[in-house]
Structure 1
Amino acid sequence: MADTDPDELERRIARTRAELAQTVDAIADRVSPKRVAERTVADVKTRAGHFVASVGDAIGMTPRPAEGGEAERLWDEEPPSLAPVLIGVGAVLVIGAAIVLFRRRRR
């Protein structure tokens, strides 16, 4: 008859109520706009860091943290010449602009 003991039932109800309150608070915290924004910003920062690292690896530049007074030297070795990359970007921009102008004149 321990199941029908009123004091035991009240303790179980109180415990269940406390657990339910914790669950509701956790859900409310998870879906609050402030928390969603914080998680989104953290995710974007992480993705941007990975993107910058992958671009650095792709062009042969691997950054390392600055130590002491060597903030002016951030690379393990001399960075490669960026001239080919810049020429390629410029060529893509010129070709893109030419295509846009050509399409506008055809109209």
Structure 2
Amino acid sequence: MADRARDPAAIERDIEQTREELARSIDELADRLSPKHAAQRGMARAKEEAGRVAEDIGAIVRKDAQDRPRSPLTGPVLIGAGVVATAVALRLLMRRRRR
């Protein structure tokens, strides 16, 4: 079977489509590798994990509170522990970000 000659206009359309796809791929890679976006993704993951830890601690505290009488210092102590844990986590993230 003989090769059919391709229409030059069709070849140009194929080239232009390939260029557009390549440009989209490059933009997507640049977005993924952007330090700003990487930091935002890291912070989002840290917030999600902190939320899960807070939920777990809350569940433990609620179960513990049901099992024994409540101390008047339980609330402030837990709030203080949460603030300290959050401050330490943020400090570690900021230190990691500087490296």
- Report the TM range for the smaller structure's normalisation: 0.5 to 0.7
1:81 to partner: Cα distance = 1.8
- Tell me the TM-score normalized by structure 2: 0.60
Q: Which consecutive aligned stretches of 4+ in structure 1 deviate over 2 angstroms post-superposition?
A: none
User: Quick one: structure 1 residues 7 and 60, their matched pair in 2 at CA, closer, same or farther if it must change by over 3 Å?
Assistant: same
Higher relative contact order (CA 8 A, sep 6+): 2
Counterpart residue number, 1:81: 70
Q: Which of 41, 45, 54 matches 1:43?
A: 45
Residue 39 of structure 1 aligns with an amino acid whose one-letter code is R
Task: Provide the alpha-carbon RMSD of the alignment.
Answer: 2.4
The size of the alignment, in residue pairs, is 67
1:59 to partner: Cα distance = 1.3
Residue 30 of structure 1 aligns with an amino acid whose one-letter code is R
User: Quick one: structure 1 residues 23 and 56, their matched pair in 2 at CA, closer, same or farther if it must change by over 3 Å?
Assistant: same
> Which consecutive residues of structure 2, in runs of 5 or more, have no partner in the other structure?
64-68, 78-99
Sequence identity (%): 38
Q: Which of 45, 56, 61 matches 1:59?
A: 61
CA displacement 1:48-83 (0-9 Å, x = unmatched): 00100100001117xxxxxxxxxxxxxxxxxx6257
Counterpart residue number, 2:10: 8
Identify the structure with the greater helix proportion. 2
**For the pair shown, which has the larger CA radius of gyration, 1 or 2?**
1
